[in-house]
Amino acid sequence: MAATISYDDVQVGTELPAQSFPVTRATLVRYAGASGDFNPIHWNEKFAKEVGLPDVIAHGMFTMAEAIRVVTDWAGDPAAVVDYGVRFTKPVVVPNDDKGALIEVGAAVAAKDDEARTVRVDLVARCDGQKVLGMARAVVKLA
């Protein structure tokens, strides 16, 4: 875990270290087991295509959880995140091959609240060059 970030050391525009998160079908099976979300669009290619998807897709909550890791790793304390929300803009399609998909996440401090000593971090999550999360924002309380 990273060292705790001081509010006074952070400026609007501060970029957080970008990260990439590989996703395979095996990842989705493990996530389904942990979350209890066994919707066949996340593991059954035939079913996913029958309902109009291009292939099996990652769970939205999985994608959201991977993205916030950029913020929690930077802040050094997952409990520092006091608010987090996203809009799902495109699914993360996970082909049945050795490669799978890659979620690439970048983030930057977009605003500071001196009274609350919080920062708003805006995130950008992409897969295959397409934005998969929109309006992805986290509010983080810093020391």
Q: Which residues pair with 49 in a beta bridge?
A: none
With cut-offs at 50, 70 and 90, classify the pLDDT of residue 3: low
DSSP H helical segments within 3-114, as ranges? 25-35, 45-50, 60-75
Strand 118-127: give its sheet, edge to edge: 15-23, 101-113, 118-127, 130-141, 81-88
81-88/130-141 β-pairing: antiparallel
Give the model confidence (pLDDT) of 45-84 as tens digits: 999 999 999 999 999 999 999 999 999 999 999 999 999 9
- Mean confidence (pLDDT) of the chain: 96
Query: How many helices (H) and strands (E) in the chain?
Result: 3, 5
pLDDT 10s digits, 46-56 = 999 999 999 99
In this prediction, residue 104 carries a pLDDT of 98
Residues in the chain: 143
pTM of the model: 0.94
The CATH number of 12-141 is 3.10.129.10
